[in-house]
Amino acid sequence: MYKVFIQNKPLFFINSKKINEFDGIFIPQSLAISNKRYILDLLQATSINMPLFLISDNPQEGISTFFEDYEFIEAAGGIVKRKSKYLFIKRNGIWDIPKGKIEIGENPEIAALREIEEECGITCEKVEHLITITYHVYQYKGRDTIKKTYWYALNYAGPKKLIAQKEEGITKAKWVNEDKYNQIKLETFASIVDVMENYVLR
């Protein structure tokens, strides 16, 4: 199963053999592709208790087909822990996790390390493990875009000083304790909450 966040609502892509494991609204992907506008409108009317599922035999291929006219971008970032605190940034006024576009020739792990250094001014030696992979849709340079982001867990033992990359719209980089970590869930994007919850589960 895969989920793509669209305007903070998750659209699930699920194998036809798995539908009995979930509750929600189920629509064959073959029907959804010819009625995309209806699907996107319906998605905004869904709730946590009644999400929208598109059914196909190959959900990953289904994402590619449904969003075939979208620009595709891959990115990487992560949750960095220093002692008992976690690294978060405020980007364009909203709490976020350091991340950025994967450059040509980079693998996701190297991209995550580079982006954290560029956006926050600290150098992590390595990633610990992959937390999750998210997909979300947004406008980039006037085009509908779907971004696939690799999220990693990292530990950092260096100085606590942070330098926010202001040219990327980052106004604050901050180490936060567990209480603030939980508060951030109420003040960020649904896709970021998904990463944070997967991090805790790991």
- pLDDT score, position 140: 84
Q: What is the pLDDT of residues 77-124, one digit of tens each?
A: 999 999 999 999 999 899 999 999 999 999 999 999 999 999 999 999
Are 104 and 131 within 8 A, CB to CB? no
At 170 the pLDDT is 95
Q: What is the pLDDT of residues 127-179, one digit of tens each?
A: 999 999 999 999 888 899 999 999 999 999 999 999 999 998 999 999 999 99
Query: Is it the case that residue 202 has pLDDT exceeding 80?
Result: no
131: tokens are: 């937390």
R_g of the chain, CA atoms, integer Å: 18
Residue 16: strand, helix, or coil: helix
Distance from CA of residue 173 to its chain's centroid? Answer: 19
pLDDT range class, residue 48, cuts 50, 70, 90:
confident
Q: How high is the mean pLDDT of the chain?
A: 94
pLDDT tens digits, 94-104: 999 999 999 99
Taking only the tens place, the pLDDT of each residue in 180-196 is 999 999 999 999 999 99
Question: Among residues of the chain, what percentage have pLDDT more than 70?
Answer: 100
Among candidates 149, 112, 115, which has minimal Cα distance to 132? 149
pLDDT for res 183:
93
Q: Are strands 85-91 and 129-140 parallel, antiparallel or unpaired?
A: unpaired
Closest CA to 173 of 125, 119, 123: 119
Count of C-beta atoms within a 10 Å radius of residue 66: 20
Q: What is the pLDDT of residue 49?
A: 87
Under DSSP, is residue 108 helix (H, G, I), strand (E, B) or coil?
helix
Residues facing 89 on adjacent strands: 96, 173
For domain 77-131+151-201, the question of CATH label 3.90.79.10 is answered with yes
Residues in the chain: 202
Find residue 94's DSSP bridge partners. 91
The residue extents of the domains of the chain are 2-66, 77-131+151-201
Question: Which residues are CB-contacts of 51 (< 8 A; sequence separation ≥ 6)?
Answer: 10, 12, 22, 24, 25
